[in-house]
Amino acid sequence: MAQQAHAQQAGPVDATPNDQQIQDIVVTGSRIVRDGYTAPTPVTVAPTADLAKATPTNIADGLNKLPQFSLSSGPARSTHNFASSAANGNLLNLRGVGPERTLIMFDSVRMPPTTFRGVVDVNIIPNLLVERVDIVTAGASAAYGSDAVSGVVNFVLNKKFTGISGVAQGGVDQRGDNGNEKFGLAYGSDFAGGRGHILLSGEYYNSRGMLRSDRKQSLGNYLYAGQNRAALLAGNPAGSAANPLVLYSNTTINNSTSGGLINGPANFSFNNFRFLPNGQATPFNAGTLIGTAGYSVGGDGYVITPQSTAVAPLTTYQTFGRLSYDVADDVNVYVQGVFTRSDIKYSSLANAFAPPNSATIFSGNPYLPANVQAAMTAQNIPSISVAVNLTEMGPLPAEERTDFYMGQAGVEGKLGNFDWTLGYVHSKSIFTLAQQTFDLKKAYAALDAVRNPANGQITCRVLLDPAVASQYQGCQPLNIIGSAGPNATRAGYDYANGASRYRAETTQDQLQGSIQGSLFDLPAGPVDIAIGAEWRRQKLHLTSNSDPATLAGATAAQTAALRSAYFAGLRGVGSTALYYNLTNTGIANGRVTVKEAFAEINVPVLKDIPFIQALDVSAAGRVTDYSTSGRVETWKVGGTWKPVDDLLFRITRSRDIRAPALYDLFAGDSSAIGTLNDPVSGVTSNVPQITGGNPNLTPEKADTFTFGGVLTPGFLRGFSISVDYYKLKINDAIGTLSLGQIVNNCRLDANAPECALVTRPSPTAFPTSVRISPANIAILQTKGIDVDASYRTALGNGNLSLRAYVNYLDSFKTQQSATAVVLENAGRGSNANQPIARPKWRGTFNVNYENAGWGVFVSEQYIGKFKLGFPAATGQNQVFADPDVNAVWYTDLTISKKIEAYGGYIELFGTVNNLFDKKPPLIPGTIPGLNLPTIISVYDQVGRAFTAGARFKF
């Protein structure tokens, strides 16, 4: 039935003509409801049954194969190097403009954020009782409120479900990874003579994920780097025309080693020596230097461990209940509730002391080899700097948990020609993270090992200082010299490790009421309106055991005093050291209250005259008042023209907004580690990046234009096609310049405001920190064409259904600020800091044949070709010697058998995803081993995978 509505509302789906069904279905796109009406806003309807055939894991994974979604995050689509992003859940991204600009709704109710960054992890939505997903692929802020810039994804509940249904399935990929299982049970029933209805569901899903090392492609240490070393030395950076990027394997990073590299002081005779596994020093072999500074082929440099996570293990628990009752013939009251838990676990990068925060080893450290100690004594060297990556100790575990609660109560009814509703929603999401990494206070204490003069035993130096010894009880010495050292001093390694933790609690209260219906009739039909008001309050409370602000005072002297007290008695503490080595998260506290009023109208202008079977115009407006930034208006105007029965044209123009997330506004300062290829010092290394909120942010403003048509030819029953052009421009976009952008902008203009964000010990030294914060500075514009076509017909004794979704991305332009260069990103891709690609063509093609209970479903996913290298704001675009990435096809196959039994059915099914085991294109990054050597947000990294199970309904 949803498919039938889509044929009228938004374009084609698998359908057989049935006018009664068309009239019984209402799909998302407007607050106004009319039987069989056609709206100007394009809407794609995705039945969950079809999504499950293509991708049986969960609804979100199925949606992400549709071309309307681009660069969504997920357990298999996220990098897991660091644990500060909160972007490892299923975050849907319409049009590729960011999940924060996609409004997520559950049965037309706005979902609250589930992460502190203001986005919704749709893993929290119960799957079993969702009958379809409506995807509004255009701005809808006037109808549904803030954040609907790129559109709306509405998970539509089957409120009238009766009976018992369920699923039991299991899966694994061809190489024995990514084992998963899913179990669910749903129940629905009428009671009190049909006046009441109850719905219950419970679901469990578990996937065990995989490591990077589980795929050979991740073990080659591939890298895109400069081709010409001589050109680099002559001043031509990697990626320039004289020094294009080429593919290398067996690459290393030569500013550190797994056993430790002595990188200072410069006058020390053992400088640039490395430590062997047994702790002895030997000259460092940099390998074959290449056309990118800091990297080599072969040699003694280090390789980022491939034992980190490629696909994060995910476990979800979903429960849902709803009770409704007709207290009168035209009045229904209801209550419903949701509780879900989503657990994601992954392994991030290994512990390290890397430049510029190398470890300081003092003279007298008993782990120093005798010849190195003798040289230090002879040359009066008090300490040496050692860069070490403790890859032999393995990656660091991180755990994320999201607990989500939502309670809803309301009353709805009918009064004459009008339907009305009033409802209240209270929801809470609790996001917690724990990241294992060095507790720097303990790590510095453990590193500074000496011999106890009383007994000759190796101990922590601070334990011999009565003034501070009590602060370091339990300290065990840690040896980082030689790859065998950390294991030999495992007690010291364990003492030095801790858990950086934060907890973000977001609560939201919503009160909303609306009324819609027909005001009066015109010759062409009824004039319909919808009016309503909403109030909501959202609060964020984020606590952390690693808030960097608690080590920073109002003045430099106060900061020095705070740091001195915290690191009391320690030597060798880095100037930018915080609580933990990798993840330091600032606290955040804030709230916003939003008051809104909206109205919509649809006016039939003409009907049943030559070349105008129907002509309607519509308009919507919304006034929104934010307690943080004041009043803003959104609107939409549109129309539909049906010149003949078989053809519909539609057009819309809208103004939409996206309000800043509470974390954007109120976040305290946080520190995380970023990797910077510094064009000033020529050094490539990790650098602390400080992020914080900006309370002066205002809502983004977006303008959307769509124009298209729907063809349903009467001479070809069962066929329909929609073609829609869209153009979206976002002004005053909330943007955050990347680490590299900030540094590059300052390099190009010494007076640029970005220079205040970069801290360097000297003008040509590698930065000790870079500050990053959001601002209303960016501009984004995208345009393209969506095609949605379907055909259904009888074939033999069965039914054949065909459906195609296609997206052509004509343009995707970004601008860092109003005065910056406009960058065209369509048809480009890169695996640098973030793995992203925007091919111009994408499509999904489904074929479904059913006969005598048997079903065969084949889905083809097409990812078009593109060129490597996004344009740069500097105008110095990256040049690849071979930039072309060819198109890729993926095939999914499901075979099922439906057996009638006990008044219902049992459906046995088997699914093979990536049937032909298509390998992802080899696209490494420009930092060895930082990311998987492909673009994980676009391509399948798992390979052929199998799922088998049973669905039932009685």
The helix or strand, by DSSP H or E, that contains position 445, with its residue range, turns out to be: helix 440-447
Is a pLDDT exceeding 50 seen at residue 25? no
- Tell me how far CA of residue 111 lies from CA of 144, 330, 376, 547, 608, in angstroms: 12, 28, 62, 29, 42
- Nearest partner of 42 among 648, 604, 602, judged by Cα: 648
Cα–Cα distances (Å) from 422 to 1, 99, 268, 321, 407, in that order, read 27, 29, 76, 19, 14
3-class DSSP assignment, residue 218: helix
Share of the chain above pLDDT 90, in %: 70
Residue appearing with tokens 């009238």: 160
Per-residue pLDDT, 28:
64
Torsion angles phi and psi, residue 113, rounded to 5: -60, 145
Tell me, what's the pLDDT at 242? 94
Helices then strands, each counted (H, E), the chain: 13, 52
Instruction: Check residue 21 and give its pLDDT.
Output: 35
* Residue ranges of domains in the chain: 2-214+311-347+399-435+503-544+585-660+697-736+773-953
Peptide bond into 265 cis (omega under 30): yes
DSSP 8-state symbol, 463: G
Interval 531-543 mean pLDDT: 95
**Tokens (6 digits) for 671:** 């520190």
Task: Name the residue with tokens 């907004």.
Answer: 657
- Residue 38 pLDDT: 58
pLDDT tens-digit profile of 243-267?
999 999 999 999 999 999 999 899 9
Q: Report the pLDDT averaged over residues 293-317.
A: 92
pLDDT at position 567, please? 96
Helix (H, G, I), strand (E, B) or coil at 870: coil
Burial 40-63 (b: 16+ CB within 10 A, else e): bbbbbbbbbebbbbbbbbbbbbbb
What mean pLDDT is predicted for residues 894-919?
Answer: 95
Q: Which residue has the higher pLDDT, 356 or 636?
A: 636
- With bands split at pLDDT 50, 70 and 90, how would you rate the model's confidence at 30? low
**pLDDT (average), residues 157-166:** 94
Longest dimension (CA), the chain: 106
List the structure tokens of 323: 């009770």
| Residue 287, both tokens | 């390998």
Cβ–Cβ under 8 Å, residues 786 and 809: no
Q: Which residues pair with 654 in a beta bridge?
A: 636, 704
Q: Is 703 exposed, middle or buried (0-12, 13-18, 19+ CB in 10 A)?
A: middle
pLDDT for 8 beyond 50: no
Task: Write out pLDDT tens, residues 919-934.
Answer: 999 999 888 887 889 9
Q: State the Cα–Cα distance between residues 817 and 735, nearest whole angstrom.
A: 9
For residue 299, what are its two tokens?
A: 């040699």
CATH 3.40.190.10 fits 2-214+311-347+399-435+503-544+585-660+697-736+773-953, yes or no: no
Taking the CB of residue 521, how many other CB atoms lie within 10 A of it? Answer: 10
Rounded to whole angstroms, the Cα distance separating 177 from 132 reads: 30
Q: How do residues 69-78 score in pLDDT, each as one tens digit?
A: 999 988 888 8
Percent of the chain whose predicted confidence (pLDDT) is above 70: 94
Using alpha carbons only, give the angle 700, 100, 143 rounded to the nearest 5 degrees: 70
CA distances from 303 to 233, 290, 300, 733 (A): 24, 16, 9, 38
Indicate if the pLDDT at residue 954 is higher than 50. Answer: yes
Query: Where is pLDDT greater, at 816 or 188?
Result: 188
Q: Find residue 374's DSSP bridge partners.
A: none
- Mean of pLDDT values over 881-887: 96
d(CA 921, CA 789): 29
> Above 70 in pLDDT, residue 732?
yes
Distance CA 939, CA 866 (A): 13
Looking at the predicted structure, is the pLDDT value of residue 10 above 60?
no
Could you report the per-residue pLDDT of 608-629, keeping only the tens digit for each? Answer: 999 999 999 999 999 999 999 9
Q: Are strands 43-47 and 904-913 parallel, antiparallel or unpaired?
A: unpaired
Instruction: Using the predicted structure, report yes or no on whether residue 35 has a pLDDT greater than 70.
Output: no
- The alpha carbon dihedral of 390, 391, 394, 400 has a sign of positive
Q: 556 CB contacts (<8 Å, ≥6 apart)?
A: none
Task: Tell me what pLDDT residue 26 has.
Answer: 55
| Residue 151, both tokens | 């559109």
329: CB partners within 8 A, 6+ apart = none
What does the pLDDT look like over 636-694, one tens digit per residue? 999 999 999 999 999 999 999 999 999 889 988 766 677 788 889 888 887 877 878 88
- Provide mean pLDDT across the span 163-168: 96
Phi, psi at residue 487, to the nearest 5°?
-70, -35
| Res 17: pLDDT | 33
Residues in the chain: 954
Selection from 481, 211, 461, 226 nearest residue 348 by Cα: 211
Give the SS3 label for residue 746. Answer: helix
- Beta strands (DSSP E) in 645-718 are 647-658, 670-677, 684-691, 700-711
- The pLDDT tens digits for 506-521 are 999 999 999 999 999 9
Q: Give yes or no for a contact between 705 and 652, defined as CB atoms under 8 angstroms apart.
A: yes
More confident site: 227 or 34: 227
The pLDDT of residue 628 is 92
pLDDT at 545: 94
Mean pLDDT of 482-501: 95
Q: Tokens for 944, please give them.
A: 């052929």
- Residue 927 burial by Cβ neighbours in a 10 Å radius (0-12, 13-18, 19+): buried
Query: CA angle, corner 256, sides to 492 and 460, nearest 5?
Result: 20
Most confident of 33-47, 76-90, 558-572: 558-572
**Residue-level pLDDT at 84:** 61
pLDDT, tens only, 760-784: 989 899 998 888 888 888 899 999 9
pLDDT tens digits, residue range 795-826? 999 999 999 999 999 999 998 877 778 999 99
State the sign of the Cα–Cα–Cα–Cα dihedral 30, 34, 40, 43.
positive
**Span 341-351, average pLDDT:** 91
Name the nearest CA neighbour of 787 among 93, 12, 134.
12
Work out the average pLDDT over 301-305: 88
The whole-number pLDDT of residue 749 equals 82
Of 308, 222, 26, 147, residue with least CA distance to 660? 147
pTM of the model: 0.88
Q: For 61-150, where are the E strands, in sequence order?
A: 102-106, 109-110, 130-136
User: Quick one: pLDDT band at residue 138, thresholds 50, 70, 90?
Assistant: confident
Average pLDDT taken over every residue of the chain: 90
Distance between CA atoms of residues 165 and 699, nearest Å:
43
User: What's the angle, vertex CA 107, arms to CA 787 and CA 155, rounded to 5?
Assistant: 45
